[in-house]
């Protein structure tokens, strides 16, 4: 069974690796549009942030690189893996496919906003007990998605499996992920 | 990741959006799930992104026998709407078979109809594709074409349309409301998607600056008791169709009074199966009737080297969809 500490270590390691060159390209400014900055007034985990972003920045870019909330992960950056899942007004979205400018007044929940090391969210607790992760990179997105799947009314194993199909785990922990969610759902 | 920048403009009124959208290099952004993927892959490079997601065009309303879905309605909201669930379950089935929960919460109904093809030759800027680069040719026709069309292909393009919603809407004879700076027009959904030419293959018949504002479905509730969307794909969820079938029947006194069948994954548009529909009218919903409809569905199919497997797949999908629709009550 991975400990809570192991989960944290995995996350830190991968967070470090993830801040690579790719994002620098997003930030580069085309000479044709050197000036435009978009004013944002977003609320993340209950805290309001006034900031500016490039017109091309995704919500994921802003959460990770401006607000430094690196629990939300960049996986495929194409909406296919679910690692970037956050809640906007309680609804799950792929934050890599959301232009920050479009969500400039959004109320956002990330993994940092759902529990603490001392008071885990029930899904975080269940994921640990069910060994529902190995490297942990997809786990924040899995848990945010699972919160939404339960809120959307999934009440069977099949509905959980279908509801979680937008979250991929390359370590292959899907069976235990479903078991953890099912336990919290009371199944 | 694209390094091209763009200007961002948020439109708050339709007239404002339409006047911004007619400029060369402008692109509308609704849910953004398709546009941002294309931009990141350097397959599109708009100068101005006109954000239309907050235009007041997201309502879903029913008046009499007419259902109107605002183009900016998010797919998840369409699928969860009581009027859609009760009177048009085929639309719910098709939407819930599309994408993932995270994407359906972003993607809009209008944007879904205008998503670009998933043909791998379109997605790779190093390969020939008349859809992406008119006149460059079609690499898929004599290349990897497992995904390609069975019907309506040309020497210039064999790409399929990717939308599930469009297949359901085609079966229900939906109409599209379109606005531009110079006025409004309506189009049958089937006329939104042109067949490919020899050197060009536009995805839609929309003109520059035009915007879909609404989807209208009239008189389709009579199909609600006997309709289904069957999607065959390479994995069970979050995947595009290899072949799909929207089936809707009206059964009266044990006899099929009306039949609607449309197939996805087999053409550049939702492919209505008119001969199958006609053959079902007046018959009891039996295995024999469904098998005959399945055989008629594949008449005229023109397979390429890699996609002949889609012919029996389509025939069997039609039969199974009809069995499911016929069994409901």
Residue B8 has φ and ψ, to the nearest 5°, of: -110, 130
The domain boundary residue, chosen from A80, A113, A146: A113
Partners of B10 in beta bridges: B51
In the stretch 131-160 of chain A, residues with CB closer than 8 A to chain B read 145, 148-149, 152
CB B29 within 8 A of CB B108: no
**Number of domains forming the structure of chain A:** 2
> Do A103 and A132 have their domain in common?
no
Shared domain check, A26 and A80 = yes
Q: Given A71, A86, A113, which residue is the final one in a domain?
A: A113
pLDDT recorded at residue A35: 79
Number of C-beta neighbours around residue A157 at 10 A: 14
Instruction: Sketch out chain B's domains with CATH numbers.
Output: 7-53 (3.30.43.10), 226-327 (3.30.390.50)
Distance CA A125, CA A142 (A): 13
Task: Give residues 81 to 110 of B whose Cβ lies within 8 Å of A.
Answer: 99-103, 105-106
Q: Tell me whether 0.90 is exceeded by the ipTM.
A: yes
Q: Which of A14-23, B33-42, B205-214, B263-272 has the lowest mean pLDDT?
A: A14-23
A21 touches B: beta carbon within 8 Å:
no
- Give the residue-averaged pLDDT of B276-291: 98
Distance CA B160, CA B193 (A): 11
DSSP assignment letter at B237:
S
> What are the structure tokens assigned to A42, written together?
């977003």
A101 lies in the same domain as A11: yes
Closest by Cβ to A101, choosing from B39, B40, B51: B51
Binned at pLDDT 50, 70 and 90, residue A32 comes out as low
pLDDT of residue B1: 58
Crossing angle (nearest 10°) for helices B287-297 and B310-327: 150
Judgement on whether residues A10 and A98 belong to the same structural domain of the protein:
yes
- β-partners of residue A41 are A50
* Contacting residues of A for B41, CB less than 8 Å apart: 78
pLDDT one-digit tens code per residue, B91-146: 999 999 999 999 999 999 999 999 999 999 999 999 999 999 999 999 999 999 99
Helix A122-129, helix A174-185: angle, nearest 10: 130
A13 & A96 share domain = yes
Confidence of residue B328 (pLDDT cuts 50, 70, 90): confident
- pLDDT bin (cut points 50, 70, 90) of residue B159 is very high
Residue A9, token pair as written in the block: 């270590």
Residue B209 reports pLDDT greater than 90: yes
Instruction: For residue A106, give the nearest of A93, A119, A120 by alpha carbon.
Output: A93
* Final residue of a structural domain among A113, A132, A158: A113
Whether A133 and A87 share a structural domain: no
Cβ count within 10 A of residue A49: 14
Do B103 and A97 make contact, defined as CB atoms within 8 angstroms? yes
User: What pLDDT is recorded for position A6?
Assistant: 32
Q: What is the pLDDT of residue A120?
A: 98
Kindly list the residues from chain A whose CB atom is less than 8 angstroms away from the CB atom of residue B29. Answer: 99, 102
CATH classification of the domain holding A62? 3.10.20.30
Closest approach of B115 to chain A, Cα-based (Å)? 14
Work out the minimum CA distance from A89 to partner chain B, whole angstroms. Answer: 11
Contact A130, A164 (CB under 8 A): no
Same domain, A94 and A150: no
What is the reported pLDDT for B2?
Answer: 67
Structure tokens at A131: 């060994």
Query: How far is A44 from A95, CA to CA, in rounded Å?
Result: 13
What is the percentage of chain A residues whose pLDDT exceeds 90? Answer: 81
* B57 within 8 A of B70, measured Cβ to Cβ: yes
Contact B105 A149 (CB under 8 A): no
d(CA B318, CA B298): 10
Q: Token match 């309680």: residue? A: A90
Residues A85 and A132 in one domain: no
Q: What is the pLDDT of residues B57-102, one digit of tens each?
A: 999 999 999 999 999 999 999 999 999 999 999 999 999 999 999 9
Interface test with B, best of A165, A168, A181 (most B CBs within 10 A): A165
| Nearest CA-CA distance, residue A15 and chain B, Å | 19
What pLDDT band is residue B275 in, cutting at 50, 70 and 90? very high
- CATH number for the domain spanning A129: value is 1.10.150.120
Residue A176's domain spans which residues?
122-185
At CA B307, angle to CA B292 and CA B227, rounded to 5?
40
**Residue B8: closest C-alpha in chain A:** A55
């Amino acid at each position: 069974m991975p400990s809570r500490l192991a989960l944290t270590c995995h996350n830190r390691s991968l967070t470090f690796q993830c801040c690579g060159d790719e994002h620098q390209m997003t930030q580069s400014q085309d000479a044709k549009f050197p000036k435009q900055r978009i004013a944002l007034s977003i609320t993340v985990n209950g805290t309001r942030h006034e900031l500016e972003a490039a017109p091309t920045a995704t919500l994921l870019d802003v959460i990770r690189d401006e607000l430094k909330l690196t629990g939300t992960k960049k996986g495929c950056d194409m909406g296919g893996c679910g690692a970037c899942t956050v809640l906007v007004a309680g609804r799950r979205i792929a934050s890599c496919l959301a232009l920050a400018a479009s969500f400039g007044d959004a109320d956002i929940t990330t993994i940092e906003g759902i529990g603490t090391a001392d008071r885990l969210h029930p899904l975080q607790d269940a994921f640990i007990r069910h060994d529902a992760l190995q490297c942990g990179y997809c786990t924040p997105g899995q848990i945010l998605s699972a919160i939404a799947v339960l809120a959307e009314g999934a009440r069977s194993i099949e509905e959980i499996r279908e509801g979680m199909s937008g979250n991929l785990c390359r370590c292959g922990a899907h069976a235990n992920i479903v078991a953890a969610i099912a336990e919290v759902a009371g199944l | 990741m694209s390094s091209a920048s763009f200007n961002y403009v948020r439109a708050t009124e339709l007239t404002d959006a339409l006047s911004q959208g007619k400029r060369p290099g402008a692109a509308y952004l609704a849910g953004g799930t398709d546009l941002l993927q294309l931009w990141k892959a350097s397959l599109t490079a708009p100068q101005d992104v006109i954000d239309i997601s907050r235009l007041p065009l997201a309502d879903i309303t029913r008046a009499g026998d007419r259902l109107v879905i605002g183009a900016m309605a998010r797919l998840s909201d369409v699928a969860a709407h009581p009027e859609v669930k009760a009177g048009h379950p085929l639309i719910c089935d098709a939407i819930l078979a599309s994408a993932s929960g995270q994407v359906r919460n972003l993607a809009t109904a209008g944007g879904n109809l205008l998503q670009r093809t998933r043909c791998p030759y379109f997605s790779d800027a190093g390969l020939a594709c008349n859809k992406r680069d008119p006149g460059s040719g079609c690499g898929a026709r004599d290349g990897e074409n497992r995904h390609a069309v069975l019907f309506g292909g040309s020497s210039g393009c064999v790409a399929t349309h990717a939308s599930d919603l469009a297949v359901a809407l085609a079966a229900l004879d939906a109409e599209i409301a379109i606005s531009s700076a110079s006025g409004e027009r309506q189009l049958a959904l089937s006329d939104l998607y042109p067949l490919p030419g020899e050197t060009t293959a536009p995805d839609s018949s929309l003109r520059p600056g035009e915007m879909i504002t609404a989807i209208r479905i009239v008189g389709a509730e009579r199909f609600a008791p006997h309709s289904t969307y069957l999607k065959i794909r390479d994995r069970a969820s979050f995947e595009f169709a290899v072949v799909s079938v929207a089936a809707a029947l009206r059964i009266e006194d044990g006899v099929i009074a009306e039949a609607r069948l449309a197939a996805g994954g087999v053409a550049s548009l939702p492919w209505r199966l008119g001969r199958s529909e006609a053959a079902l009218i007046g018959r009891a919903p039996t295995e024999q009737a469904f098998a005959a409809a399945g055989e008629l569905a594949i008449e005229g199919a023109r397979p390429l080297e890699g996609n002949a497997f889609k012919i029996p797949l389509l025939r069997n999908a039609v039969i199974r969809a009809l069995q499911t629709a016929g069994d409901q009550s």
